[in-house]
Copies of this chain bind each other. A is one copy, B any other.
Amino acid sequence: MSKSFEFDLINKENDARAGEFNTPHGKIFTPTFAPVGTQATVKTLTPAQLESTGANLILANTYHLYLRPGAELISEMGGLHEFMQWKKPILTDSGGFQVFSLSEMRKIDQDGVTFRSHIDGSKHRFTPEKAIQIQENLGANIIMAFDECSSPYDESYSKQAMERTHQWAVRCQNAQVRDDQALFGIVQGGVFPELRKKSAEFISSLDFPGNAIGGLSVGETKKEMYQIIDVVNHILPEDKPRYLMGVGTPEDLIYGVQRGIDIFDCVLATRLARHSAALTNIGRMNLMNSKYSRDSEPIEQGCSCYTCQTFSRAYIRHLIMAKETLSGTLISIHNIHMLQSLMEHIRNSILENRFEKFAKAYLENYEYKPGITADKILS
């Protein structure tokens, strides 16, 4: 069972919340965005570079690390923090989502899932108990209950997966041995408000130190996603952090916070970076575009990240055209910094009761409009 992990709600503005979640590796200031370090590395970045973006909480993937290099090896090496040299909070997912999306030949039963590795085809089995054991070996600060993510529009499968997720949530609680990790429950139920309501009520009843909304951003419309968040968050307890899994565009961060989300994670910032796209406060930029070939401006005017303080768009475009992986590093630094900086502005605006005003102004400008710079919007 988890020790009590204190979550202090510092201020609320309508449903938006600013808080602090205490972990043995320091406070998580919410709302927060967690970059994804799937294989115990946020791709192309050193921990020092990652820290320079303002990142605090990061996520690592249980499925990947279980397969390679193995959770026991990481435990022997002193746990994830020591292994990857990230001294701030870490969250691991349960492996559930990857087992359903990445592995081959999976067979689900009430007890767990048997699957084949996407790396070498070897056969493995995850159960709720196994998912907890692996996550205890990895040693993150926040660990997740083992869940089943359904096809969002299949009602009968969504109901079945939700019920299994509930049974597994109880088994995860019972399986937990370490008391220094916060185990979060996960709400499922596809795009169906009644299922989501039922799931939120059941998961809330288990009194996890935090709760997550799973199974979103997997094909449903934005409208459906926001509706589900509304339904769920009005049921999940106020005094526990709420984590929206796998969501992290700038606009979704705003809309999520508006609906009472505290924690987000997403591969978008780093994946876009490796595909030449920068996130800015006014929209996305494709830095491969030839119009940047002689552009001496930074990616985003007014941005204080290492990349924008140092390099021109022209140089980054050159790196992209020359297939130099440094372009992915430089854009990743910018993209993560951009989201961290946005979250900081969001948090400050909540603390000062001007979040709604900030959100409205931000979203009006959010779209590519040359000439509008970040410092104008964020001031």
- Comparing A41-49, A127-135, A159-167, A346-354, the segment that makes contact with chain B is A41-49
Tell me which residues across on chain B come within 8 A of A39, comparing CB atoms: 318-319, 322, 324
> CB of A69 within 8 A of chain B?
yes
Beyond A41-B319, A76-B294, 11 additional pairs, beta carbon < 8 A:
A40-B318, A43-B324, A43-B326, A46-B310, A68-B322, A69-B314, A77-B296, A77-B312, A77-B314, A83-B312, A83-B315
Counting every copy of the chain, the complex holds 2
B83 & A45 in contact (Cβ 8 Å cutoff): no
* Residue from A40, A46, A48, A296 whose CB has the most chain B CB atoms within 10 Å: A46
Q: With an 8 A cutoff between CB atoms, is A321 at the interface? A: yes
Interface positions, chain A 272-328, Cβ under 8 Å from B, are 293-294, 296, 306, 310-312, 314-315, 317-319, 321-322, 324-326, 328
A47-B310, A73-B294, A315-B83 given as contacts; is B322 within 8 A of A325 (CB)?
Answer: no
CA distance A69 to B49 in the complex (A): 27
Do A69 and B326 form a contact, CB below 8 Å, given A296-B77, A311-B85? no
Q: Cβ of A231 < 8 Å from any Cβ of B?
A: no
Report which residue of A47, A73, A78, A325 has the largest number of chain B beta carbons within 10 angstroms of its beta carbon. Answer: A325
Let me know if B326 and A68 touch, CB within 8 A: no
Q: Considering only CB atoms and an 8 Å cut-off, how many residues of chain A contact the other chain?
A: 40
Inter-subunit contact A46/B306 (CB<8 Å)? yes
* Residues B310 and A85 in contact, CB atoms below 8 Å apart: yes
Option from B64, B73, B325 in Cβ contact (under 8 Å) with A314: B73
Query: Closest residue of chain B to A83, judged by CB?
Result: B315
Question: Is A314 a contact partner of B83 (Cβ separation < 8 A)?
Answer: yes
A331 on interface, CB distance cutoff 8 Å: no
Chain B residues lying within 8 Å of A62, measured Cβ to Cβ, are: none
* Chain B, residue nearest A318 (CB): B69
Chain B residues positioned under 8 Å from A64 (CB to CB): 322
